[in-house]
Chains A and B, each alone.
Chain A
Amino acid sequence: MLENIRNFCIIAHIDHGKSTLADRLLEFTDTVSERDRKAQVLDDMDLEREKGITIKSHAIQMLYKPEDVEYKLNLIDTPGHVDFSYEVSRSIAACEGALLVVDASQGIQAQTISNLYQAIDHNLEIIPVLNKMDMPSAMPEEVKEQIIDLLGCDEEDIIEASAKTGYGIDKILDAILLKVPPPKGDVNAPLQALIFDSVFNQYRGIIAYFRIMNGTVHTGDHVKLMNTKKEYEADEVGVLGMGLHPKKMLHAGDVGYIISGVKVAREVRVGDTITHVENPCEKAIDGFKEAVPMVFAGIYPVDADDYEDLRESIEKLQLNDASLVYEPESSAALGFGFRCGFLGLLHMEIVQERLDREFDMDVITTVPNVSYKVFTRKEELIEVHNPSGLPDITKIDYIEEPYIKANVITKTDYIGPIMTLGIEKRGVLKNQVFLSTDRVEITFEMPLAEIVFDFYDKLKSISKGYASFDYHECGYKRADLVRLDILLNGEQVDALSTLIHRANSYSFGRRMVEKLKELIPRQQYEIAIQAAIGAKIIARETVKAFRKDVTSKCYGGDITRKRKLLEKQKKGKKRMRQVGNIEVPQSAFMAVLKLD
């Protein structure tokens, strides 16, 4: 039985064609019906389709019978963007092999390398796929060379393919059968299954996705989670196709799902082990390393009364986004909310969007920041995730901020501007390696805070898209930081405070008040926007009160148009947060991200 199962994931740099390749595999194996076919069919969240990127890993089972024997192929399509790397790492834990997809027109990029290393760490069999061979700009020879250098494989091991035309798909399937080892595991041992993902379903409660390492599980079994020690009835187990396919039984090597009527989000943790109540396995599988958040921001309900709903929504969202961390906090301006940790700004944006779309929660996200280590004069160490949590300035001895090692892969033409950008961002050049005559890998050490904001966008624009980048934390360093506060009509708004490098603080403060002036709509009163460091005001702008707001003519009984217009305005106002007597739109709290 086990020998007829193959578990593999598709990994690559962003946009190299993983999801499109998955489409072709699903078609080739007749897993999706003609009717359900569409581009990147596994990207089933609206947000994924709108943005054209994969946000979640998606597991799906294919049945494939090339000759007499039928194989169960469990495929997991993974995201390529750095902010969702935690999805990749957990998918890898459920597989024995990986298709490493490389865009033949782009070559090896930063996340090709970082995702590959993760797969190698888990001893996955790597099958290199050279995708987009149909493109006129494909450079097969050159890119094959890069792959050989990276993997130490033979040229014959690299499969040429086009996820667009379907070229090479048969070869990929052959290689999966041939090279990816079938799962190991003992069907007769006590049940031991690793939860690698989960999702909250409004009607059915929590659905947990798992990979069975040992044993079998039947619908109706009495199971328990080893870490939480909670016990449940397995109401339904099954495999993931296009949708859920219930099965009577699953066994070692299988990837599947379980529904057991659990409604309390906190009870299910990704990384936990499922076993039987009777005859449990001896020990839990080592779970996953916790995701390390890079950026922190407050999330508050727009309507303060929705705090409890927000808590519930975040808990449920976290089931499906294990990289999201949160803890309660409060703000003088915004009341009760949560301090959340994200893997990056895109992740933060997605969380905000998902709260809105999937849970109908209107939220305000405050200015994001990294975490700081504050050393006090009394030689205490305080971790600060929020500028307003900074101790009084007189008590601070010094502050340290997190640094990262950033690897940028680019064409040699762009070395100059990228160096300049690195230095502008307080980076120190650590290394420069020529990967080929016209490709170079540049390594900087720089403060994480500098890349959190607009580094990636700037990098893309100065390199015309020919630069990819990846980063890892590499410790803390002392930094000369000040807290920049924003005052609206003289009242400090804690949710708008930022910690900023002293040298940049003046220009930052100026740009911040200018941006806020753009974002805060005119109101019945004049609004003074000030930026301050300590007691010192460093910049000021004024939003004038509106003087006149009246549609004088209402054409021949057309009440509808006017009513709709005013209703729309009211909806807009409802999404604003009242700070004192000023209505501040959601976007203003994120102003810092949009500074030019």
Chain B
Amino acid sequence: MKRIYIHVPFCIAKCAYCDFYSIEGNSMQKEYISALLKELEDRKSEILWPLKSLYFGGGTPSFLDFENLGLIFNYINDNFGFEDLAEITLEANPENIDAEKCSRWKELGINRLSIGIQSFNDEDLEYLQRIHSSEKAIAALKIAKNHFSNLSADLIHGISGANDERFIKNVEILTTLGIPHISMYSLSIEDRSKLRKLIINNERSNIDEETQARQFILAAETAAKNGYFQYEISNFSKPGIESQHNTAYWKGEPYAGFGPSAHSFNGTERRWNIADLKEYISAVESGAKYFETETIGQQEKYNEFILTRLRLVEGFTKQEFEQEFGEENFRKILLKTQNSPYFSVSENRIAFTREGLLISDALMSDLMEV
């Protein structure tokens, strides 16, 4: 595996909509780092070096002390090293960004920041319980821009109360600032999120499907108007700076994930670490098992192909499909998709149309084998 994901499970405060694994505060950094380094050491043989990409996700990786980040880099540099054009991403939140940090991150080798903006509107930020202000978000982006050419910002649309105009304004601020890559997600109400409880208790108003659908389309249109192209359901970029690491997920490439709740895929088996920092640490340190695995059989492989490839706006080619599943199956999938307004089907390629992307979950599940 030539791609590494590292999960950093600390956040300053938990956002309302979040269902990623993280805990509030970073007082357990030391124990975390030592367990993480042990996991890296234990699984060293899985890694093929030099690395093509490294991705720090979270949680809030920018909340990790510089020295600790350094320890991880030391290990990776000593043991694996990077290819020349390797993509090294750090997820960062505006409140952690300043000029000094940016230059030190850069010194370590980080060459891409993915910044959790979500919105430039303070009401939205309050709804989401983000801890930064819109002012801080803009300031952080400007600083980041000075240090990194490869920059991405996250936006959330379909927030209750945010009208279309307000949402488009968010996109326009990013384009004006010259941020070359934007991830735009619809707000979803996750089972384990605080937001769900808030909505049930009437402390937040609910999201509206109609608005979400409209803003999903508007997002794509506004991005296109400003010279971004959509390469994945939620990702838009200027040519040439698509996220390599994330694209690898959609193309079925192997990757190794480290840290609590991190996922790995070696081509035939998926594995996920326990989503609990304390249990992760104690299991790693004592040599107990701290992950689960699942073998990907032919049917799972097929379903994953549908699920991952169709997330890419380019879809998949006949050759790619037939190589894995044969000609007969291609004929079958062709029959199911070719007269549908939701698929764009050419002789050589199957992909979603924009309408298809909008209801892609339903369409993908229709295509799956169970």
Instruction: Give A contacts to B, CB under 8 Å.
Output: 524, 546-560, 562-563, 566-567, 569-571, 573-574
Which chain B residue shows the least CB distance to A550?
B360
A550–B358 CB distance below 8 A: yes
A563–B257 CB distance below 8 A: no
Told that A553-B234, A563-B303, A570-B365 touch, could you supply 4 new A-B pairs with CB distance under 8 A? A550-B361, A555-B57, A566-B361, A573-B366
A553–B185 CB distance below 8 A: yes
B365–A548 CB distance below 8 A: no
Residues of B within 8 A of A563 (CB): 300, 303-304, 307
Residues of B within 8 A of A562 (CB): 307
A565 and B145 CA atoms in complex are apart in Å by: 38
A550–B186 CB distance below 8 A: yes
Q: Which of B198-230 touch A at CB < 8 Å?
A: 209-210, 212-213, 216
Other-chain contact of B213, A547, A558, A560 (Cβ < 8 Å)? A547
At the interface, yes or no: B188 with Cβ under 8 Å from chain A?
Answer: yes
A546–B370 CB distance below 8 A: no
Q: How far is the CB of A570 from chain B (nearest CB, A)?
A: 5
Residues of A within 8 A of B212 (CB): 547-548
Which chain B residue shows the least CB distance to A556?
B57
A567 and B265 CA atoms in complex are apart in Å by: 19
Q: How far is the CB of B186 from chain A (nearest CB, A)?
A: 5
A549–B308 CB distance below 8 A: no
Q: How far is the CB of B243 from chain A (nearest CB, A)?
A: 12
A552 and B186 contact, Cβ closer than 8 Å, known pairs A566-B365, A570-B365, A571-B370? yes
Q: How far is the CB of B260 from chain A (nearest CB, A)?
A: 12
Which chain A residue shows the least CB distance to B210?
A547
Residues of A within 8 A of B294 (CB): 560
A559 and B249 contact, Cβ closer than 8 Å, known pairs A548-B186, A550-B233, A566-B368? yes
The list of the 9 closest CB pairs from A to B, nearest first, reads A547-B213, A548-B213, A566-B365, A552-B185, A569-B365, A557-B263, A549-B359, A552-B234, A570-B365
Residues of B within 8 A of A556 (CB): 5, 7, 55, 57, 257, 262-263
Could you tell me how many residues of chain B have their Cβ less than 8 Å away from some Cβ of chain A? 43
At the interface, yes or no: B311 with Cβ under 8 Å from chain A?
Answer: yes
B358–A548 CB distance below 8 A: yes
Residues of A within 8 A of B364 (CB): 566
List 7 contacting pairs A-B, 8 Å CB cutoff, sorted by A. A548-B359, A552-B234, A555-B20, A558-B263, A559-B249, A566-B361, A567-B365
A524 and B5 contact, Cβ closer than 8 Å, known pairs A552-B185, A552-B186, A556-B262? no
A560 and B308 CA atoms in complex are apart in Å by: 11
Residue of A550, A554, A559 ringed by the most chain B CB atoms within 10 A: A550
Residue of B263, B308, B360, B362 ringed by the most chain A CB atoms within 10 A: B362
B368–A570 CB distance below 8 A: yes
At the interface, yes or no: B90 with Cβ under 8 Å from chain A?
Answer: no
B265–A524 CB distance below 8 A: no
Chain B interface main SS type? mixed
Residue of A524, A556, A567 ringed by the most chain B CB atoms within 10 A: A556
Residues of B within 8 A of A549 (CB): 358-362
Q: Which of B232-287 touch A at CB < 8 Å?
A: 233-234, 249, 255, 257, 262-265, 270, 272
A557–B216 CB distance below 8 A: no
A557–B304 CB distance below 8 A: no
A79 and B249 CA atoms in complex are apart in Å by: 57
Instruction: Give B contacts to A, CB under 8 Å.
Output: 5, 7, 20, 55, 57, 184-186, 188, 209-210, 212-213, 216, 233-234, 249, 255, 257, 262-265, 270, 272, 294, 300, 303-304, 307-308, 311, 357-362, 364-366, 368, 370
Residues of B within 8 A of A559 (CB): 249, 263, 265, 270, 304, 307-308
Residues of B within 8 A of A566 (CB): 303, 307, 361, 364-365, 368
Which chain B residue shows the least CB distance to A545?
B359
A557 and B249 contact, Cβ closer than 8 Å, known pairs A547-B358, A548-B213, A570-B370? yes
A570–B366 CB distance below 8 A: yes
Residues of B within 8 A of A570 (CB): 365-366, 368, 370
Which chain B residue shows the least CB distance to A566?
B365
A562 and B311 CA atoms in complex are apart in Å by: 12
A573–B365 CB distance below 8 A: yes
A546–B368 CB distance below 8 A: no
A557 and B361 contact, Cβ closer than 8 Å, known pairs A563-B300, A566-B303, A574-B370? no
Q: How far is the CB of B203 from chain A (nearest CB, A)?
A: 23
Q: How far is the CB of B216 from chain A (nearest CB, A)?
A: 6
Q: How far is the CB of B322 from chain A (nearest CB, A)?
A: 21
Residues of A within 8 A of B249 (CB): 554, 557, 559
Which chain A residue shows the least CB distance to B214?
A547
A560 and B270 contact, Cβ closer than 8 Å, known pairs A547-B213, A548-B209, A555-B20? yes
Q: How far is the CB of A302 from chain B (nearest CB, A)?
A: 14
Q: How far is the CB of B299 from chain A (nearest CB, A)?
A: 9
Residues of B within 8 A of A552 (CB): 184-186, 188, 216, 233-234
Q: How far is the CB of B313 from chain A (nearest CB, A)?
A: 13
A586 and B367 CA atoms in complex are apart in Å by: 21
A248 and B233 CA atoms in complex are apart in Å by: 73
B357–A550 CB distance below 8 A: yes
Which chain B residue shows the least CB distance to A572?
B365
A546 and B57 CA atoms in complex are apart in Å by: 32
Q: How far is the CB of A593 from chain B (nearest CB, A)?
A: 28
A554 and B300 CA atoms in complex are apart in Å by: 17
Which chain A residue shows the least CB distance to B157?
A552
Residues of A within 8 A of B303 (CB): 563, 566-567
Other-chain contact of B359, A550, A555, A560, A569 (Cβ < 8 Å)? A550
Other-chain contact of B255, A557, A569, A574 (Cβ < 8 Å)? A557
A562 and B216 CA atoms in complex are apart in Å by: 20
A546 and B209 contact, Cβ closer than 8 Å, known pairs A554-B311, A566-B364, A571-B370? yes
Q: How far is the CB of A20 from chain B (nearest CB, A)?
A: 41
Residues of B within 8 A of A555 (CB): 20, 57
Other-chain contact of A558, B209, B233, B272 (Cβ < 8 Å)? B272
Which chain A residue shows the least CB distance to B270?
A560
Which chain A residue shows the least CB distance to B58?
A556
Residue of B209, B257, B294, B361 ringed by the most chain A CB atoms within 10 A: B361
Residues of A within 8 A of B264 (CB): 557
Which chain A residue shows the least CB distance to B17?
A553
Residues of A within 8 A of B188 (CB): 551-553
Q: How far is the CB of B355 from chain A (nearest CB, A)?
A: 10
Q: How far is the CB of A42 from chain B (nearest CB, A)?
A: 37
B263–A560 CB distance below 8 A: yes
Q: How far is the CB of B190 from chain A (nearest CB, A)?
A: 10
B209–A547 CB distance below 8 A: yes
B270–A548 CB distance below 8 A: no
A550–B216 CB distance below 8 A: yes
A550 and B184 CA atoms in complex are apart in Å by: 12
A567–B359 CB distance below 8 A: no
Residues of A within 8 A of B216 (CB): 548, 550, 552
Residues of A within 8 A of B357 (CB): 550
Residues of B within 8 A of A553 (CB): 185, 188, 234
Other-chain contact of B362, A524, A554, A571 (Cβ < 8 Å)? A524
Residue of A548, A553, A560 ringed by the most chain B CB atoms within 10 A: A548
A551 and B263 CA atoms in complex are apart in Å by: 18
A569 and B365 CA atoms in complex are apart in Å by: 6
A570 and B186 CA atoms in complex are apart in Å by: 23
A567–B370 CB distance below 8 A: yes
A556 and B303 CA atoms in complex are apart in Å by: 18
Residues of A within 8 A of B262 (CB): 556
Residues of A within 8 A of B272 (CB): 558, 560
B365–A546 CB distance below 8 A: no
Residues of A within 8 A of B300 (CB): 563
Q: How far is the CB of B276 from chain A (nearest CB, A)?
A: 16
A524 and B342 CA atoms in complex are apart in Å by: 10
Which chain A residue shows the least CB distance to B364?
A566
A557 and B365 contact, Cβ closer than 8 Å, known pairs A548-B186, A548-B359, A552-B234? no
A354 and B248 CA atoms in complex are apart in Å by: 47
A559 and B308 CA atoms in complex are apart in Å by: 8
Q: How far is the CB of B76 from chain A (nearest CB, A)?
A: 17
